[in-house]
Amino acid sequence: MARKNAKHRMVLSPQARTELETILGARYVTDDPALLSGYAWNTGVGKIPGGDKFAPIWPIAVVLPATTEEVAAVIKCCKRHGLSFRPHSTGYGSMGCVTSPDSICIDLRRMNHLEILPEDRMAVIGPYATANQLQAEAHKHGLACHVVGAGPSHSPLASATSLIGVGITSQFTSANMRNMLAWEWVTPEGEIIRGGSAASGMGWYASDGPGPGTRGLLRGFFGGGGGIGVFTRIGIKLFPINHKGKMETLGQVPQLRSPLPPNTALLHAIFPSYDAQRSATFDLLQDDVCTVLLRMPPNHVGWTLTESNAEFVRRTRDGTLPEPARPENSANWTILIASRSAAEHRWRHDTVREIVAHHGGRFAEMTTEEEGVLYHNLATSQYVPRVLRASGGITTSFGVLDSFHFLPKAVEMGEMMLAEDTAPGGDLCEGSPDEQWIWPHEGRYMWAENIIHFDATNEASRAAGARALIGHFAAQWKDPVGMTGLLVGPIQDVTGPRIGKAPAFARKVKTYFDKDDRSKTKEYVIPNMPPVVEKILPALRPVLSSAPVLHILSKLVGKNGI
Amino acid sequence: MPGGDLLAERLAATDRCTRCSQCKFVPVPKSRAHMSACPSIDFVEYHAGSASGQLIMASGIAHGEIDYTPELLDTISACTMCGACDTACKVNFAEIVEPLEGLYAFRARIVADGQSPKRHREIMEKIGETGSSQGVARSERAKWATGLTFSTRADVLLHVGSVLSYDASKHQSLRTIVEAVQQAGVPLAYLGQHEGSCGMLAWDLGYHEQARTLANAFVRQVRQSGAKTVVTFSSSAISAYRSIYPRMDIDTSDIRFLHFTEYLLEMAETGRLSLKTASDHAWRKVAFHDTCKLGRLTEPYQRADYSLTKEMGGIYASRSPEALNFSRNGIYEAPRALLRQMDIEVEELERNREFSYCCGAQGGVKETRPAAAKMAARNRLDELKETESQVMVSACGNCAHHLDKHARAPATVVDLIDILAPSIVVGAANAAVRER
């Protein structure tokens, strides 16, 4: 049987293979198509596959280095042989696949260093230290890590170096674009550079210090997207929590739950309107009484509180879902209060209740089991992968990163983009009118991200997913809802002046360090772009956001994937 | 092509894998050291070694994206089919992927395509010739029972299984327990050298037709013996009876299948047997290793319509959600209860019950990829370091033998039957024992 796309795939030259095997050992170099297939699966958060799940471009080889020095040697080997490369940590979602046919995939699985430095409230981690491992070890010291919206098995290093880094506990764990401390980096030329305090030999506690403070240069706000070499180790912030030790788990698969630690409460506030929710939010943040604030659309709460899709569908239809999961309760906050003493807890608890009541809100009735399930999923970030349970296909919106003044408008925008296709008979999975996940960062700005559920096996549904995805950008260009959060890849250039000269600056960094563009990605800036093209791209916004072009683009994506 | 049909049936579910990597990890790890759920990915290291990676390869074969390669066959040979991936996946994905069903289908497709690895073929030849994957002559199978008397027909049929039948070091314990059951007034039937493979390993290796033949032959033997209850010492067999035979549409609703730990517990609870303090052993605290086959893979499989319907515009919902396997109803409690009755404290390993880590002995890995099996055993034994106990107990002869082979002092591995045998007492020995 001939492989369908074999003729489009490049092969590893014998010379390059020999060199790679010399660097790593033959066991850790493969160009076997069967073993490569796992690195060509076009899926996960943010992805829209084509007719089958395989990406059109496969890596020509996968290598498994164990040390920073081996990574550097692999990159130099790529350079000698005119090959590109793509770092790969856990491989979940948007940056899992290579984007050029001459790319080697550098799977960093063997680089799973994890060291907790409790007195410095930080950890030093490698690319394959996953969030669930880091969280488990941090908890032993009364600390917690920030977990981004990619579930517990993602790489915090990848998040901190390469893509924004927002996550549902951001009210107290900030976001990973601000959580990266010192770093170790292999440049696209294969040089090993340590930055921040790590460069001084004084530890890993700061992004600035005796060494060069270049965090902003290397990752900026959006992250390098795997397009600027390989990060092999970082210092990352941890945050104190009100209990120490292993997380207790009760219940049975899949409805695992955890009892709330002492001086902890999980409340689900429901407001009469988004305006009321917004007003309450300002007061809640002003008084700094909430450890976590999270708004999930009710149907997503329902997926967590039911053990299977069948149960979710049945209980949606017969109206027996718990109160937080009912569609009429869409203006809501799940609130976690974690205090250090009974007195503090009383004060925070009473203050939250008073603020919610003052703004016309109330609290949903929940059983202890439901409360335990929600707490468990919040603390472990299992919420996020569970969102994929409905159909196995999701992508997401532009993300709003701005003041909570924009909360009602963000929801309205979410509804505008989804309501038609998520209504019965539409091309997307049925759901809430909007599917915005919303939370605050550090008591200040709002993150809102509209989740788009499509049926990956259905071309019309994939096209509708693409239409909503691209449509979000087009809508933002026409009528901005605050600052756009997920401006990855060329979208930055098209968006243009609204985000200042960030893309041009990032391009200078990319071009300086990687003039041959060996560190290949679609999620970073387009390298080596002539200034005239840079100027023209923003002018294309009206064309790209016109109905006919949107229609054609979404059809193309639905057919071929992105 | 029966195997091909099965993979075709599972292909939509396989293609729904989101490559989230959750199948590689226990759902809520307690430490970095023991966060892995999957011995296969720990050995292979490329993504292909995980359940997700195998499903992707299966999809690649089915969609014509890849061909069979030696590396593919080596990779799947390192998977013990322990089902930890299935449990981990279902925490988030419930019915929409069901990795273990995909792995069963992929193995069947490999066999149907004539691509079964050479070592797997050799195992199947041995099973065909001798009724055992070890290839030991049938005449050796019942040697452990020399001098014991069994009924031709009885309500209870004893099934010993291949591992214990040929492990001479366990024969004294096995005899002691069987004799105690008989002395307690239970006539036992036993197939002796006519006892064959339960079909579990054949199923795991993808030889579903052969597994069905073996299963049907055994069920016929049970019916011929007049037994209404089968008591087995084999964790593979109890898994096959409860979880695999229903998949093969073999109706065993008239037969009650019990693992010996369940049966002994039942006898102890009704006063026909009792267990005295296990005073022969210096240790009073042990860590218990949940065998995959005895635990999560013994959850009964219900005959039901497992297909999905597309609801609400693209939400994939099970037609029989009550039949979904979440590994909740395996045999977890009986061996622990027996240990407690012998005044032995059971200390839980970090990965326990449905989240247990496979020791590497199952699925043909021990025979096919010994290095992978050894790594799995060493990984499992490392968990003892986190406990106060230095003794790991298993209720599975296969696991106990394999773990023991790779244990390094001070770690010790003990087969549960070796603790039970010196403690077993016919009748309710004394009230205190019963109350415990």
Distance from CA of A537 to the nearest CA of B (A): 34
Using a 10 angstrom Cβ sphere, with 0-12 exposed, 13-18 middle and 19 or more buried, the burial of residue B316 is: buried
Chain B residue with Cα closest to A43 = B18
The DSSP code sequence of B330-353 is SS-HHHHHHHHHTT-EEEEPSS-G
Question: How far is A152 from A140, CA to CA, in rounded Å?
Answer: 17
Backbone angles phi, psi at B267, to 5 degrees: -65, -35
According to the model, what pLDDT value does residue A8 have? 61
Is the separation of the CB atoms in A268 and A323 below 8 Å?
yes
pLDDT at A536 over 60: yes
Angstrom CA distances, B304 to A256, B157, B243, B245, B284, stand at 25, 28, 13, 13, 45
Q: Which of B173, B353, B151, B357 is nearest to B264 (CA)?
A: B173
- B429 pLDDT tier (thresholds 50, 70, 90): low
User: What is the rounded (10 degree) CA torsion for B58, B64, B66, B72?
Assistant: 30
According to the model, what pLDDT value does residue B420 have? 97
User: Using only C-alpha atoms, what is the Rg of chain B?
Assistant: 21
The DSSP code sequence of B148-193 is ---BSS-SEEEE--HHHHH-GGGHHHHHHHHHHHHHTT--EEE-GG
pLDDT at B8 over 80: yes
pLDDT at B230 over 90: yes
CB contact under 8 A, A133 and B29: yes
Distance from CA of B148 to the nearest CA of A (A): 43
According to the model, what pLDDT value does residue A474 have? 87
Chain B contacts in chain A segment 195-234 (CB below 8 A): none
pLDDT at A6 over 80: no
According to the model, what pLDDT value does residue A337 have? 98
pLDDT at A1 over 70: no
Q: Which of A448, A274, A446, A267 is nearest to A360 (CA)?
A: A274
Supply B177's token pair: 């327990």
According to the model, what pLDDT value does residue A122 have? 97
Handedness of CA B218, B224, B225, B228 (dihedral sign): positive
E strand intervals along A312-466: 332-338, 362-363, 394-396, 400-402, 436-441, 445-453
SS3 A250: strand
Model confidence pLDDT, tens digit, residues A261-291: 999 999 999 999 999 999 999 999 999 999 9
pLDDT at A502 over 90: no
- For the residues B243-255, what does the mean pLDDT come to? 96
Question: How far is A276 from A270, CA to CA, in rounded Å?
Answer: 10
SS3 B309: strand
List Cβ neighbours of B87 (8 Å cut-off, separation of 6 or more).
Answer: A253, B27, B37, B296, B326, B327, B354, B355
Is the separation of the CB atoms in A332 and A274 below 8 Å?
no
CB contact under 8 A, A253 and B24: no
pLDDT at A442 over 50: yes
Distance from CA of B232 to the nearest CA of A (A): 27
Q: In the beta sheet, which residues pair with residue B286?
A: B346
pLDDT at A94 over 80: no
CA B374 to chain centre: 18
Percent of chain A with pLDDT over 90: 67
- For the residues B334-360, what does the mean pLDDT come to? 97
Supply A357's token pair: 């009541």
Is the separation of the CB atoms in A356 and A362 below 8 Å?
yes
- E strand or H helix at A344, and its extent? helix A342-358
Chain B residue with Cα closest to A390 = B315
CB contact under 8 A, B66 and A37: yes
Supply A30's token pair: 């493969």
CA A7 to chain centre: 34
Distance from CA of A93 to the nearest CA of B (A): 8
E strand intervals along A393-488: 394-396, 400-402, 436-441, 445-453, 483-484
- Interface check for A109 against chain B (CB to CB < 8 A): the answer is yes
Question: How far is A136 from A114, CA to CA, in rounded Å?
Answer: 11
Q: Which of B215, B217, B221 is nearest to B237 (CA)?
A: B215
Q: Which of B101, B110, B8 is nearest to B368 (CA)?
A: B110
* Vertex A164: Cα angle to A95 and A119 (nearest 5): 110
Residue type for position A261: P
Select the residue of A2, A39, A254 nearest B47 (Cβ to Cβ): A39
- E strand or H helix at B18, and its extent? none
B147 phi-psi bin (left φ>0, alpha ψ -120 to 50, beta other):
left
Whether this model's ipTM surpasses 0.90 comes out as: yes
Question: How far is B289 from B67, CA to CA, in rounded Å?
Answer: 38
Angstrom CA distances, B133 to A123, B78, B125, stand at 48, 17, 8
Model confidence pLDDT, tens digit, residues A336-386: 999 999 999 999 999 999 999 999 999 999 999 999 999 999 988 888 888
**Between A396 and B201, whose confidence is greater?**
B201
A129 vs B contacts (CB less than 8 Å): 32
Handedness of CA A127, A131, A133, A135 (dihedral sign): positive
pLDDT at B430 over 80: no
Is the separation of the CB atoms in B90 and A385 below 8 Å?
no
Note the helical H segments in A55-108.
68-80
Distance from CA of B82 to the nearest CA of A (A): 16
According to the model, what pLDDT value does residue B2 have? 46
Backbone angles phi, psi at A231, to 5 degrees: -90, 125
**Between A387 and B401, whose confidence is greater?**
B401
Percent of chain B with pLDDT over 90: 94
Chain B residue with Cα closest to A9 = B65
CB contact under 8 A, B19 and A392: no
Q: In the beta sheet, which residues pair with residue A234?
A: A125, A183
Mutate to test the interface with A, among B46, B352, B386 (most CBs of A within 10 A): B46
Q: Which of B47, B407, B93, B339 is nearest to A308 (CA)?
A: B93
Distance from CA of A383 to the nearest CA of B (A): 8
Model confidence pLDDT, tens digit, residues B17-51: 999 999 999 998 999 999 999 999 999 999 999 99
- A3 pLDDT tier (thresholds 50, 70, 90): low
User: Using only C-alpha atoms, what is the Rg of chain A?
Assistant: 23
- Interface check for A252 against chain B (CB to CB < 8 A): the answer is yes
CB contact under 8 A, A253 and B65: no
Q: Which of A32, A92, A42, A94 is nearest to A63 (CA)?
A: A32
Chain A residue with Cα closest to B58 = A34
- For the residues A118-123, what does the mean pLDDT come to? 97
The mean pLDDT of chain A is: 92
List Cβ neighbours of A282 (8 Å cut-off, separation of 6 or more).
Answer: A404
Chain B contacts in chain A segment 389-428 (CB below 8 A): 389-393, 422, 424-428
Question: How far is A291 from A455, CA to CA, in rounded Å?
Answer: 35
Percent of chain B with pLDDT over 70: 97
**Between B404 and A3, whose confidence is greater?**
B404
pLDDT at A2 over 60: no
- For the residues A432-450, what does the mean pLDDT come to? 93
Chain A residue with Cα closest to B296 = A253
Note the helical H segments in A142-214.
156-162, 170-173, 176-179
- B367 pLDDT tier (thresholds 50, 70, 90): very high
pLDDT at B80 over 80: yes
The mean pLDDT of chain B is: 95
Asked if the peptide bond before residue B410 counts as cis, ω within 30 degrees of 0, the response is yes
According to the model, what pLDDT value does residue B431 have? 46
Question: How far is A109 from B43, CA to CA, in rounded Å?
Answer: 12
Select the residue of B21, B319, B328 nearest A153 (Cβ to Cβ): B21
DSSP classification of residue B254: T
Distance from CA of A382 to the nearest CA of B (A): 7
Model confidence pLDDT, tens digit, residues A181-237: 999 999 999 999 999 888 888 888 888 777 777 888 888 888 888 999 999 999 999
- Interface check for A7 against chain B (CB to CB < 8 A): the answer is no
User: What is the rounded (10 degree) CA torsion for A227, A228, A229, A231?
Assistant: -100
Question: How far is B80 from B72, CA to CA, in rounded Å?
Answer: 15
**Between B436 and B145, whose confidence is greater?**
B145
Length of chain A in terms of residues written: 562
List Cβ neighbours of B271 (8 Å cut-off, separation of 6 or more).
Answer: B427, B428, B434
pLDDT at B225 over 70: yes
Distance from CA of B264 to the nearest CA of A (A): 26
Asked if the peptide bond before residue A254 counts as cis, ω within 30 degrees of 0, the response is yes
Percent of chain A with pLDDT over 70: 98
According to the model, what pLDDT value does residue A7 have? 54
pLDDT at A511 over 70: yes
- For the residues A40-62, what does the mean pLDDT come to? 88
Longest CA pairwise span in chain A (Å): 72
Chain B contacts in chain A segment 363-392 (CB below 8 A): 376, 380, 382, 385-386, 388-392
CB contact under 8 A, B314 and A5: no
Is the separation of the CB atoms in B359 and B402 below 8 Å?
yes
pLDDT at B197 over 50: yes
pLDDT at B103 over 90: yes
- For the residues A433-444, what does the mean pLDDT come to? 93
CB contact under 8 A, A390 and B314: yes
Lowest mean pLDDT segment, chosen from A370-379, A533-542, B364-373, B381-390: A533-542
- B435 pLDDT tier (thresholds 50, 70, 90): very low
**Between B432 and B137, whose confidence is greater?**
B137
List Cβ neighbours of A456 (8 Å cut-off, separation of 6 or more).
Answer: A43, A48, A49, A53, A391, A392, A393, A462, B15, B16
Supply A220's token pair: 């900026």
